[in-house]
Amino acid sequence: VPDTQSHTPELVAVFDMGASAIRLVVAEVAPTQPIRIVEEASRGVLLGRDTFSGGVIRPKTADATFEALDGFRHIVDSYSVNQVRAVATSAVREARNSELFLDRVRGRSGISFEVINEAEESRLVYLAVRESLRGHAALKGAATLLAEVGGGSTSLTLLRRGRPNRSGVYALGAVRLRQQLDLRRHGHDLQVALLKHSIANVIEEIGLEIPLARVTQMVAIGGDVRLAASQIAQHDGDNGLRGIERDAFLTFCDEVERLDEDALVSRFRLPAVEAETLVPALLVYRALLSATRAGRVIVSDATLRAGLLLDFIEPVGRQAVEDFERQVLASAEAVGHRFRFDRAHGLHVAKLATRLFDELREDHGLSDRERLLLQTASLLHDVGVYVSLRGHHKHSQYLLAASQIFGLSAEETAVVSNIARYHRGRAPQRSHLAYVALDRNDRLVVTKLAAILRVANALDAEHLEKVQDLRLQRRGRAWVLEIDASGDITMEQLAAAARTDMFVEVFGRQLAIRLSGVTG
Amino acid sequence: MIAADRPEAALFISRELSWLAFNERVLEEAADPSVALLERVKFAAIAASNLDEFFMVRVAGLQQAVDEGDTACDLSGLTAAQQLAAVAERAHRFVGELYRLVGDDLLPALTAQRTRLLAFAELNEAQRVSMAAFFRDSVLPVLTPLAIDVERPFPLLLSLSLNLAVLLDAEPGETRHRLGIVQVPSGIGRLTRIPEPEGAAFVLLEDIIRAHLPQLFPGQPILEASVIRLARDAEMEFDDEGGRTQLELVERELRRRRRSDVVRLEVEASASQELIDRLCTQLDVPAESVYPVRGPIDLRVLMGLVDLPGFEERHDPPLQPVNVIAGEQTDLFSILDQRDVLLHHPYEAYDPVMALVAQAADDPDVLAIKQTLYRTSIGSPMIASLQRAAECNKQVTVILELTARFDEERNIRWARALEEVGAHVIYGVRGYKVHAKACLIVRRTPRGLRRYVHLGTGNYNERTARIYTDFGLLTASRKIAEDISAFFSALTGYSDPPRLNKLVMAPTGLRQRFLRLIDRERRRAEAGQPAEITAKMNSLIDGEIIEALYAASRAGVRIQLNVRGICALRPGMPDASENIEVVSVVDRFLEHSRIYCFLNGGDEEVYLASADWMTRNLDKRIELMFPIEDALHKAKVLGALRAMFRDTVKSRWLGGDGRYHRRGPSPGELPFRAQHELLLEARRSSVTREGVGITFHPQQHEPSRSQGRPKSPG
For chain A, what's the residue count? 520
Report the chain A residue with the minimal C-alpha distance to residue B511: A269
Q: Is A201 exposed, middle or buried (0-12, 13-18, 19+ CB in 10 A)?
A: exposed
Among A38, A42, A268, beta carbon nearest to B449:
A38
Residue B147: the pLDDT is 85
Q: What percent of chain A has pLDDT over 70?
A: 95
Where helices occur in B203-340 by DSSP H, the ranges are 205-211, 213-216, 249-255, 273-283, 303-306, 332-338
Cα of A42 to nearest chain B Cα, Å: 5
pLDDT at position B350 over 70:
yes
Q: How do residues A107-128 score in pLDDT, each as one tens digit? A: 999 999 999 887 788 888 888 8
Q: Which of A12, A76, A78, A277 to mutate to test the interface with B (most CBs of B within 10 A)?
A: A78
pLDDT at position B613 over 70:
yes
Residue B447: the pLDDT is 86
Q: Which of B177, B344, B345, B435 is catalytic?
A: B435
Q: How do residues A139-151 score in pLDDT, each as one tens digit? A: 788 899 999 998 8
CB contact under 8 A, B498 and A43: no
pLDDT band at B408 (very low <50, low <70, confident <90, very high): low
CB < 8 Å to B478, chain A: 36
Contact (Cβ atoms closer than 8 angstroms) between residue A477 and residue A510: yes
pLDDT at position B708 over 60:
no
> Mean per-residue pLDDT for B434-456?
93
Q: Which helix (H) or strand (E) holds B26?
A: helix B15-31
B199 — contact with chain A (CB < 8 Å)? no
Q: Omega into B346 within 30° of 0, i.e. cis?
A: yes
B601 — contact with chain A (CB < 8 Å)? no
CB contact under 8 A, A75 and B446: no
Q: Which residue has the higher pLDDT, A334 or B2?
A: A334
| Cβ under 8 Å to A: B residues 495-554 | 495-499, 507-509, 511-512
CB < 8 Å to A6, chain B: 447
Q: How do residues B655-667 score in pLDDT, each as one tens digit? A: 999 999 998 888 9
Residue A291: the pLDDT is 95
Which residues on neighbouring strands pair with residue B533, listed in sequence order?
A: B559, B598
Q: What percent of chain B has pLDDT over 90?
A: 62
**What order do you get walking across the sheet with B290-293 strand by strand?**
B146-148, B178-183, B162-168, B222-232, B262-268, B290-293
Residue B390: the pLDDT is 92
Residue B409: the pLDDT is 64
Q: How do residues A169-183 score in pLDDT, each as one tens digit? A: 888 999 888 888 887
pLDDT at position B713 over 50:
no
Region at A128 (left for phi over 0; alpha for psi -120 to 50; beta for the rest):
alpha
pLDDT at position B418 over 90:
no
Report the chain B residue with the minimal C-alpha distance to residue A8: B447
pLDDT at position B405 over 70:
no
A39 — contact with chain B (CB < 8 Å)? yes
Cα of B394 to nearest chain A Cα, Å: 9
CB contact under 8 A, B448 and A8: yes
> Mean per-residue pLDDT for A278-303?
93
Strand, helix or coil at B298? coil
Residue B367: the pLDDT is 92
Contact (Cβ atoms closer than 8 angstroms) between residue B464 and residue B243: no
pLDDT band at B693 (very low <50, low <70, confident <90, very high): very low
> Mean per-residue pLDDT for A61-75?
94
pLDDT at position A6 over 70:
no
Report the chain B residue with the minimal C-alpha distance to residue A7: B447
Q: What is the mean pLDDT of chain B?
A: 87
B260 — contact with chain A (CB < 8 Å)? no
Cα of A295 to nearest chain B Cα, Å: 25
pLDDT band at B236 (very low <50, low <70, confident <90, very high): low
Task: Tell me which amino acid residue B490 is.
Answer: A
pLDDT band at B415 (very low <50, low <70, confident <90, very high): confident
Q: Which of A167, A104, A112 is nearest to A328 (CA)?
A: A167
A343 — contact with chain B (CB < 8 Å)? no
- B435 catalytic, yes or no? yes
CB < 8 Å to A228, chain B: none
CB contact under 8 A, B442 and A79: yes
Cα of A78 to nearest chain B Cα, Å: 7
Q: Which of B449, B480, B504, B515 to mutate to test the interface with A (most CBs of A within 10 A)?
A: B449
Residue B13: the pLDDT is 95
Spatial separation of the C-alpha atoms in residues B714 and B701, rounded to whole Å = 11
CB < 8 Å to A268, chain B: 512
B485 — contact with chain A (CB < 8 Å)? yes
Q: What is the mean pLDDT of chain A?
A: 88
A301 — contact with chain B (CB < 8 Å)? no
Spatial separation of the C-alpha atoms in residues A520 and B650, rounded to whole Å = 101
CB contact under 8 A, B482 and A79: no
> Mean per-residue pLDDT for A375-386?
94
Q: Which of B461, B589, B470, B462 is nearest to B42 (CA)?
A: B589
> Mean per-residue pLDDT for B669-683?
92
pLDDT band at B712 (very low <50, low <70, confident <90, very high): very low
> Mean per-residue pLDDT for B54-73?
88
CB < 8 Å to B493, chain A: 71
Residue ranges of E strands in B486-641: 504-506, 532-537, 558-563, 580-585, 590-591, 594-598, 605-609, 621-628
> Mean per-residue pLDDT for A244-255?
93
CB < 8 Å to B494, chain A: 41, 71-72, 74-75
**In angstroms, what is the C-alpha Rg of chain A?**
25
pLDDT at position B588 over 60:
yes
Residue B1: the pLDDT is 40
Residue A210: the pLDDT is 86
pLDDT band at B320 (very low <50, low <70, confident <90, very high): confident
State the CB neighbour count (10 A cutoff) for residue B365: 12
pLDDT band at B323 (very low <50, low <70, confident <90, very high): confident
CA neighbours within 13 Å on the CB side: how many for A336? 22
Residue A402: the pLDDT is 87
Region at B433 (left for phi over 0; alpha for psi -120 to 50; beta for the rest):
beta
CB contact under 8 A, B494 and A71: yes
CB < 8 Å to A74, chain B: 492, 494
Q: In this predicted structure, which of A6-10, A465-469, B220-224, B512-516 has the lowest mean pLDDT?
A: A6-10
> Mean per-residue pLDDT for B234-254?
50
Among A2, A11, A39, beta carbon nearest to B485:
A39
CB contact under 8 A, B489 and A271: no
Residue A169: the pLDDT is 81
Phi then psi dihedrals of residue B28, to 5 deg: -60, -35
Residue B253: the pLDDT is 46
pLDDT band at A396 (very low <50, low <70, confident <90, very high): very high
Q: Omega into A211 within 30° of 0, i.e. cis?
A: no
pLDDT at position B490 over 70:
yes
Task: Tell me which amino acid residue B483 is.
Answer: D
pTM of the entire predicted model? 0.81
Torsion of CA A120, A126, A132, A136, to 10 degrees: -170
CB contact under 8 A, B508 and A269: yes
Among B495, B497, B507, beta carbon nearest to A71:
B495
Q: Which of B32, B35, B47, B54 is nearest to B98 (CA)?
A: B47
Residue B459: the pLDDT is 86
Residue A411: the pLDDT is 86
Residue A315: the pLDDT is 61
Q: Which of B489, B499, B502 to mutate to test the interface with A (most CBs of A within 10 A)?
A: B489
Helix A118-132 to helix A410-421 angle (10° resolution) is: 110
pLDDT band at B711 (very low <50, low <70, confident <90, very high): very low
CB contact under 8 A, B495 and A9: no
Spatial separation of the C-alpha atoms in residues A250 and A235, rounded to whole Å = 18
Among B447, B485, B494, beta carbon nearest to A2:
B447
Q: What percent of chain B has pLDDT over 70?
A: 88
Q: Give the count of Cβ contacts less than 8 A between chain A and B.
A: 72
What b/e sequence results for A335-349 when a residue is b if at least 16 CB atoms lie within 10 Å of its CB, and e otherwise? bbebbebeeebbbbb
Among A11, A41, A230, beta carbon nearest to B449:
A11
CB contact under 8 A, A41 and B494: yes
Among A43, A75, A79, beta carbon nearest to B367:
A79
A214 — contact with chain B (CB < 8 Å)? no
Q: How do residues A197-215 score in pLDDT, each as one tens digit? A: 999 999 998 888 888 999 9
pLDDT band at B710 (very low <50, low <70, confident <90, very high): very low
B334 — contact with chain A (CB < 8 Å)? no
Cα of A128 to nearest chain B Cα, Å: 19
State the CB neighbour count (10 A cutoff) for residue B408: 14
pLDDT band at A105 (very low <50, low <70, confident <90, very high): very high
